[in-house]
Structure 1
């Protein structure tokens, strides 16, 4: 059994952690730390989780010998401080993305963890999105031949509420950048088209980043001005193409806990695959969707803590993604210089 504690009780914890840990018998959520000021006017939700101890004392969590892993789900500005305190108290840490504000601060956390024989890892749970797992399945099959282009979209339509500040890269694009980086590793070249559409030089509200791997170009696109539903993934190879729309799998309830579905989504939203086989025969198929389960990351982390298995998210991947995010912000700042 692995006893864990959360720092924070916001959207990430309620929607992207707790619903997936209900099914993991080897993992027990013992406590959740919330600052006293965060509880003002927001205590009723705690009753939805009667088996979890809520506390306003971080020291209580740090000094609980039963807790082995602390999961940090606060604003990025506090990630480093909480992670260092947890590691100093001999707790493993899982930190929400973005892992740290800078590459240098992330390296400090990893170095501290290594010096104490502990694990520090980023929560790149989107590697276990059903649509991404379906994409991997198609790529691994080899039916598309040599890959030429992959587009990954994470879009919304909310242009009237775009505000100043840099958050689109670190809040949304971080998911898809990590997904593609986990597949193909370090690119030979990166081209940034990150712009401040509404607030020149003061926001990152349009993201279009190309990663070059020889013949293959992968692209991460993220925008708040996309009105028509766009495929999550578009893939072209020299033998065929594949598209997949985003997989919905949650039922959010403002008056109760979020429920995650672990059933295969309807066939109407399965991927579309068209290719020519080695005999010159054309195939047009629906590709059954894989199931989203962010708890898989916890299973793999459990194995790392208990058996010494390799971490599912490597330090060098976290550092590389952080650098891409920060370079993208710099590109956005420069985008306003000529306007």
Structure 2
């Protein structure tokens, strides 16, 4: 079997150009044959540059669905369209990746997973934040046991947007689905399905709009793992706060990949994704001799392209997929349960 995966993109908006194409164009194991967009020439400069590389554009989805050469399709469209597009592509025999948030309900997620498994195809959400540099660093700290048993964890995804009033919409249009999916997926990867989740999800900038603020805590025995987002944070919190029985890990700053892409820096350039040294994580713990140790840790380089490389490895070489079916459904269950009741509430899962 060829080591090159022939694929298409469905969607050509900001997300496709920011989080997907820069990495795909650097992957020698991927051939992008077609990009579908309902609005041809909306980004003429970007489109022309890709056409010059041999990529064809179409406003006819059937050109993707009915092309037998296309093995894999990445769906990068508004969230309410994800389910029907992914279902149609799976039915046509395509392996599929879907931008976050994956789908609008647990039922939709189960339907896509069952269809994909029945046909022997890949279905996965694009959980690129598993490959943030700071998350890779957090995993290193936990894997090496520096802080002992983890007891408290807090993850922030904050902005300062006082004029960005939230608009009316459904729950999938709000911050919990839009931003919460990232730290939630990271926590599920680390610790699995929680015993219970405490929710406080609300809209601060517009009481009639979708949520723009959440404080959600996942319960794992002694461990409490909290995720928080607010659009009214002018002075940053740490990105991660981790306390354990033997020490603490504190990390400021968001992964640099997105800012570098916006600055026109290619993922292939040597310093792409390099963290600001002022934001390096601080690890404080007791070593094997009983001595206190304080250590600044250089942040590893993140790489969102690894999410695509996993798809190559799954489809062409039978590897295990990065985001398991169980993890997909666990996240959907937690997201959905956040809106089962008004105001702060607790949901039990085990």
Same fold (TM over 0.5): yes
Q: CA deviation at 1:4?
A: 0.9
Given candidates 198, 201, 210, the residue that maps to 2:217 is 210
Q: Secondary structure at the match of 1:161?
A: coil
* Aligned counterpart, 1:293: 303
Residue correspondence of structure 1 range 86-165 to structure 2 within 5 A: 86-165=89-168
* Aligned counterpart, 1:251: 260
* Aligned counterpart, 1:31: 34
State the distance in 1 between where 2:300 and 2:339 align. Answer: 33
Q: Secondary structure at the match of 1:112?
A: helix
State the distance in 2 between where 1:80 and 1:258 align. Answer: 33
State the distance in 2 between where 1:190 and 1:21 align. Answer: 36
State the distance in 1 between where 2:255 and 2:127 align. Answer: 17
* Aligned counterpart, 2:240: 233
Q: Secondary structure at the match of 1:272?
A: strand
Retained in 2: the 8 A contact 1:164–1:199? yes
Retained in 1: the 8 A contact 2:133–2:299? yes
State the distance in 2 between where 1:6 and 1:108 align. Answer: 22
Q: CA deviation at 1:29?
A: 1.5
Given candidates 262, 275, 279, the residue that maps to 1:265 is 275
Retained in 2: the 8 A contact 1:70–1:93? yes
Alignment of 1:179 with 2:180, yes or no, is no
State the distance in 2 between where 1:205 and 1:85 align. Answer: 32
1:47-74 deviations in Å (ceiling 9; x for gaps): 2322221111111112222210010000
Worse-superposed segment, 206-215 or 161-170: 161-170
Worse-superposed segment, 184-193 or 260-269: 260-269
Worse-superposed segment, 307-316 or 130-139: 307-316
Q: CA deviation at 1:252?
A: 4.2
State the distance in 2 between where 1:98 and 1:45 align. Answer: 25
Q: CA deviation at 1:267?
A: 2.6
Q: Secondary structure at the match of 1:320?
A: helix
State the distance in 2 between where 1:191 and 1:263 align. Answer: 34
Q: CA deviation at 1:265?
A: 2.7
Q: CA deviation at 1:264?
A: 3.8
Given candidates 60, 68, 78, the residue that maps to 2:71 is 68
Q: Quote the RMSD (CA, aligned, Å).
A: 1.8
Q: CA deviation at 1:42?
A: 3.6
Q: CA deviation at 1:200?
A: 3.4
Retained in 2: the 8 A contact 1:14–1:258? no
* Aligned counterpart, 1:190: 197
Distance 1:307 1:109, change over 3 A: same
Q: CA deviation at 1:110?
A: 1.1
In structure 2, runs of 5+ residues without a counterpart are 345-350
Retained in 2: the 8 A contact 1:201–1:334? no
Retained in 2: the 8 A contact 1:195–1:201? no
Q: TM-score, normalised by structure 1?
A: 0.92
Alignment of 1:43 with 2:52, yes or no, is no
Q: Secondary structure at the match of 2:140?
A: helix
Worse-superposed segment, 40-49 or 51-60: 40-49
Q: CA deviation at 1:198?
A: 3.4
Q: CA deviation at 1:41?
A: 4.5
Distance 1:170 1:111, change over 3 A: same
Q: Secondary structure at the match of 1:77?
A: helix
Q: Secondary structure at the match of 2:134?
A: helix
State the distance in 2 between where 1:248 and 1:264 align. Answer: 6
In structure 1, runs of 5+ residues without a counterpart are none
Given candidates 324, 330, 337, the residue that maps to 1:320 is 330
